[in-house]
Homo-oligomer: A and B are copies of this chain.
Amino acid sequence: MILSKTCDYGLRAALYIATHEREHFVSIRRISEKLQISFHFLTKILQILTEKGIMISFRGPNGGVKLARKAEEITLLDIILAIDGPGLFTDCALGLEKCWEGHPCPLHQEWKQIRTDLKNIFQSKTLADLAFRIKSDTFRISDLAVTT
Contacts and interface: CB of A to CB of B under 8 A. Distances in A.
Q: How many copies, total?
A: 2
Q: How big is the A interface, by class?
A: 35 or more
A106 B121 contact: no
Nearest to A4: B95
Contact of A139 (B104, B134, B139): B104
Interface string A106-123: 111011001001100100
A140 to B, nearest CB: 6
Instruction: Give the interface centre of A3, A9, A15, A95 by most chain B CB atoms within 10 Å.
Output: A95
A23 interface: no
A148 to B, nearest CB: 15
8 contacts: A1-B87, A1-B95, A5-B95, A94-B141, A96-B143, A103-B140, A114-B114, A114-B118
